[in-house]
A and B are shown apart, each in its own frame.
Chain A
């Protein structure tokens, strides 16, 4: 409890000190604390600016959905949150992104350290060409956990948490490629969870899956938010409405509107948001 309030103090302090001009209505609405704060984010591929002055808060243990038409920058935005764009040459970023009040670009020296705290699930399931066990164990091993029984325990526990254990417990040494698409994606989720991240970024995690697998993933997300903060990019508006607490609407690299999911989907403030939600474009 003390820890919680400390965090809140730290966060509120950090926001005060930023002196941002935009008053975010989400700030006044919510009671839970902020996990990540993004302020005045600009992003460039070479000379081409793809994100414009984006400020957004990510609340702890909530699901934040990013919606918008293709090419609106929501995936790029997501990838700035764990510095994944660092791996792409010729990119540049301006602005501040803080995790628990700490600037992840200036104060966190090592992007790989950050990524153990901010995990990521990709659009296409991308298991390593290794066994199911080794896929999950990979995150532990690269972070220096090598003791056999600890790894085995963590792998089992994480697979259970991703509701995959029952399906794979008898073939942990089989290649991950022997799993179905939906199982592969849940394996990727387990793989990301094993390093115990605090924030999980998901880039359209169910877009390549059939409806049954999609429901499984969505149920999993609902379960995960008890312990993790989730930011999810989705094309599927019903999905955003079903699983998220906060929704942010991106359009042409700008954050048009952000608010409680219920409000965005019933009474959006902006005309553009309404047009997109009601399917007039996109």
Chain B
């Protein structure tokens, strides 16, 4: 018995030396983690370099400002850029207020342990896990079919659908639904991070709950809310499935100017060109070019978000 203990505790015993060499223990985990990082970085570099290599040649002023021509084998992608921007803006207008108000309700007005809160939170988590194509079908059924068609029935007597058809507003609302969890979760995180003492200081000065939320809590949480909005925009700009049935068009000769117009979108444009084109070689440069533009816009948006956020933080500390 004593022997075994000695063996186990003495660094020079055979057991210790054969089972684990203390000097080498640090290297394996470090190597493994480094390997993972390299794989990820390598993949990213591969994708980016491939896109840039093939896509850069397609980028020109005409490419960014002209509509597609010759059955999508030439011309530019301006309608898709415009449509993506319009979609994302409409989506943001819909998702940010609802998401922020939900997060405020969950954080400030309910007890975290109450049944209501737990059910709502579970619903939000489930919402985040629903495949995006399901959102697309839901949008078609609910927004286009139920709401749009309902509006038509009540306000319009004609046979042609006015609102009861795929349109940018329905696509934006479907996308808003999809990105809602992102906004709620990041706003909630920001609200959670606000120290209780600061809220109490506000209450102690005779501020009401609403005043405290408006003047202390929301301004403090603004960077987090912005992060949520940007994440939602990033997600929304890249999703195709939710808009396929609810508003995105294969090709449109005009730009969307009304909420019930259809629209072109970059992600959908990429999908269409990759799967529907009869002449793959001719569309390939356009395809790569579109991907490059989409990626650049997304990255740009990220940088803008980071800049705004750090700016707000800096202003707060050094005001």
Contact = CB atoms under 8 A, between A and B. Distances in A.
> Which 6 residue pairs are nearest across A and B when measured between Cβ atoms?
A116-B206, A126-B197, A139-B205, A120-B204, A142-B207, A175-B319
Contact of A128 (B111, B198, B318): B198
Nearest to A83: B203
Contact of A124 (B197, B199, B220): B197
A145 to B, nearest CB: 11
B45 interface: no
Contact of B317 (A120, A141, A175): A175
A143 B206 contact: yes
Contacts of A130: 319
Interface string A182-203: 0000001001100100000000
Interface of B is mostly: helix
A87 B209 CA distance: 9
30 contacts: A84-B204, A87-B200, A87-B203, A90-B111, A110-B208, A112-B203, A112-B208, A115-B204, A115-B206, A116-B205, A120-B200, A122-B197, A122-B200, A122-B201, A124-B197, A126-B201, A129-B317, A129-B319, A138-B202, A138-B207, A138-B215, A139-B205, A142-B215, A143-B205, A174-B318, A175-B318, A188-B201, A191-B205, A192-B204, A195-B206
Given A128-B216, A192-B205, A84 B316 contact: no
A139 B207 CA distance: 7
A278 interface: no
B195 interface: yes
Given A124-B197, A138-B207, A139-B206, 7 more contacts: A115-B204, A115-B205, A119-B205, A122-B201, A128-B201, A142-B205, A191-B201
Contacts of B311: none
Given A89-B111, A90-B111, A142-B215, A131 B204 contact: no
Interface in B177-206: 195, 197-206
Interface in A122-160: 122, 124, 126-131, 138-139, 141-143
Contacts of B215: 138, 141-142
B211 interface: yes
Contacts of B317: 129, 175, 177
Interface of A is mostly: mixed
A84 B203 CA distance: 8
Contacts of A143: 205-206
Given A90-B111, A138-B215, A128 B202 contact: yes
Interface in B278-319: 316-319
Interface centre among B197, B200, B206, B318 (most CB of A within 10 A): B206
A113 interface: yes
B216 A126 contact: no
Interface in B66-120: 111
Contacts of B207: 112, 138-139, 142
A178 B211 CA distance: 25
Nearest to B208: A112
B316 A129 contact: yes
B108 to A, nearest CB: 10
Nearest to B206: A116
Given A126-B195, A195-B206, A173 B319 contact: yes
B195 A195 contact: no
Contacts of B318: 174-175, 178
Nearest to A127: B201
B289 to A, nearest CB: 45
Nearest to A118: B204
A192 B215 CA distance: 17
Contacts of B195: 126
A113 to B, nearest CB: 7
Contacts of A142: 202, 205-208, 211, 215
A175 B211 CA distance: 21
Contacts of B220: 129
